[in-house]
Structure 1
């Protein structure tokens, strides 16, 4: 039921009002007070209504933030003294999808044990429905001001730069309010919330953010982009270059960590991040792919930052949820001191190739991949999918946690070697297909 980022899938198939009802009832068994919210997808209105009703009929009081960024909901769990948070969102997925992501009072997403327990209650039909005079209350409110203030408390921007802010028709309006409060002059793109994402597709990739990069370059200012629920942040330099996720990870991690400290990043992170941070004696701890797993590692006291190349950034001393608006403000703080293009130029860029293969039976394909790889290679890690370290490069084959895809990633320090490794990994996947 749960993928790497909660429950997600096509509306009317995987994601239905019945599912929202069952999730709410199962969550209501353990929670007396829950914060809820949604991204701009039209289906979210129905799903949130059902989720709220099922919580209330379980005697759970609900704080409804309505249309809100996922990190706003996640952080409001702590501000409201609630037992859990629930966001109806499919994050960066396409418009036909939706989903539910759950949060703990620590601001960390539900970890594997809590997900498994909730799934067990759903499967077993465990509920705690209350009589007519014990139904939970519902309070509708806005937590944006609290989120803005929390962001202002976490950064110090002496000379606010100009910014182009692409909200991707999502729920990231809190970024606009925070940057305005910081004193930034900015221009917005795709600022009107619309769950059909008419301005661009929700995922903030280089392909989808070409207009942002062009405008940033023409204006000579930094560009910032969010996905549909604003838990991700990506950027473009003042020269119009869309910054790779690995490079941005290296830059943000370098500013967050001191020599001798550690940061957390997933298995598919570039070697360039390790090499760049090694210059400052900063170690990289590898995790499974998914912000849930990065957050779990970042919750350890010896880790000061966590990030994913996809655009999820975590400062554990502030919160354990990926917070796109906070990341936007952190980036503005850096740009105010030195241009982003100069920082980008300091990070090596190794050839890394990525592709996805659509499959119906992900588990069966991955099992056949493991059977091929284990007897063939010496340095094999199965922490998440199958990762093979070849010394001068590596490849990773893993099943997507949110889509019917097998993802292939390969990297080396030399272009020709990267191509060879990628073809090798692709051949393994091809041989494993039905």
Structure 2
């Protein structure tokens, strides 16, 4: 029921009012007495939130509805309100026909597998504990006019914890989503802010919600044409942040991860990253005596690892960034402010990126109806043929030249192959080796 980022899928198929109702019932049945609820800008969220609130209150929980806000804004509100849990109705960067439900702990961290499984089991067995007529929960609606309590608190926290400059020009592409808090925080400190796609619209008419290079060409052009110091772009719920340098170049997630990691880590620290992260990050940290610690792909896994002692930062190249001492959730507005502060201190984002090495990486997929079995078989073969093999999430093989990763897709009948090295020939060789392993395993299966 729950993937690495909650429940997601097409509305009316995978995601329905019945599902939202049952998740609300299950949360209350599982012991949540007060729950913070929010949603992104998708119209289907209205219906889903109503159903969710009905389920929560039907089983005796009180709800605090903070309205249409960024996912990190809602997650931060859980701890601030002293609530037991939080729910965001969002499909994040997925296309407009989708929606979803993501659950948050009392500290504002995404539910882990164990707690998600517990909620899923209550839903599956319909083991709901309904309240009597005198135990029905209440719904308190926070004033969302002119910013809302949750958004104002988030903006204030950004300005109080990040030393923002007052003389930079920043383009902020909100992607028709709910990340306005970024523009508000930067503007309040004196930055010259130009917004793109700032009108909230869950159909995402300005550009597709996912902040990729192909989807953000207009923002890149605006940054270059206006001589802005940098650009930041969000997805639909603003848990992700990607960036554009002053030359109008859309930066890779690995480059941003290396910049953030090197900024936050000290000698002896580690940084939590998923298994598909570039060598670039490990090499950048090695220069300062720090190291990476790998997690399965998914921001919930990165957040859980980042909460451990000695882990200074966590991030995913897809755009999720976690500062564990500030907030345990991926916070796109916080990332935007930290990056702006970094540019203010260093002077040029392009120069910072140009100082990083550029390693060749190869990616492709093999279609198969036995993806999990094939990936498992690759793991068995690799264990016999290589010394350094990790099966934390898929099969990652480290060699002196680089690494390759074989993973079963979570959503399609595909086995995904990634290979990276420090030079082109080694990257090609590692990729062909990985492809041969997948084809051998597929033949055997």
Establish whether TM, by shorter chain, passes 0.5.
yes
Identify the match of residue 266 of structure 2 among 239, 242, 258: 258
SS at match of 1:306: strand
Work out the CA distance in 2 between the residues paired with 1:65 and 1:46.
Answer: 15
The farther-off stretch of 397-406 and 244-253 is 397-406
Task: Give structure 2 stretches of 5+ with no counterpart.
Answer: 143-147
Work out the CA distance in 2 between the residues paired with 1:304 and 1:136.
Answer: 40
2:89–2:100: 8 Å Cα contact kept in structure 1?
yes
Shift of 1:180: 1.2
Shift of 1:360: 5.9
Work out the CA distance in 2 between the residues paired with 1:189 and 1:245.
Answer: 21
SS at match of 2:359: coil
Shift of 1:367: 3.0
In the other structure, the counterpart of 2:253 is: 245
In the other structure, the counterpart of 1:395 is: 404
In the other structure, the counterpart of 2:233 is: 225
Cα distance change of structure 1 residues 158 and 240 upon mapping to structure 2, 3 Å threshold:
closer
Cα distance change of structure 1 residues 104 and 26 upon mapping to structure 2, 3 Å threshold:
same
Work out the CA distance in 1 between the residues paired with 2:152 and 2:367.
Answer: 42
1:288 and 2:289 matched: no
1:271 and 2:279 matched: yes
1:394–1:410: 8 Å Cα contact kept in structure 2?
yes
Aligned 1:70-109 pairs, distance under 5 A = 70-109=71-110
Work out the CA distance in 2 between the residues paired with 1:359 and 1:199.
Answer: 35
SS at match of 1:423: helix
In the other structure, the counterpart of 1:39 is: 40
Identify the match of residue 200 of structure 1 among 204, 207, 211: 207
In the other structure, the counterpart of 1:23 is: 23
Shift of 1:292: 0.6
Work out the CA distance in 2 between the residues paired with 1:398 and 1:196.
Answer: 32
2:20–2:51: 8 Å Cα contact kept in structure 1?
yes
In the other structure, the counterpart of 2:158 is: 151
In the other structure, the counterpart of 1:299 is: 307
Cα distance change of structure 1 residues 356 and 6 upon mapping to structure 2, 3 Å threshold:
farther
In the other structure, the counterpart of 1:135 is: 136
In the other structure, the counterpart of 1:325 is: 333
Identify the match of residue 415 of structure 1 among 416, 424, 433: 424
Work out the CA distance in 1 between the residues paired with 2:20 and 2:378.
Answer: 35
Work out the CA distance in 2 between the residues paired with 1:84 and 1:403.
Answer: 31
C-alpha RMSD of matched pairs (Å) = 1.8
1:168–1:191: 8 Å Cα contact kept in structure 2?
yes
Shift of 1:179: 1.2
The farther-off stretch of 380-389 and 211-220 is 211-220
Shift of 1:231: 0.3
Shift of 1:358: 6.1
In the other structure, the counterpart of 1:162 is: 169
Higher RCO (CA 8 Å, separation ≥ 6 residues): 1
Work out the CA distance in 1 between the residues paired with 2:9 and 2:441.
Answer: 25
Q: TM-score, normalised by structure 2?
A: 0.93
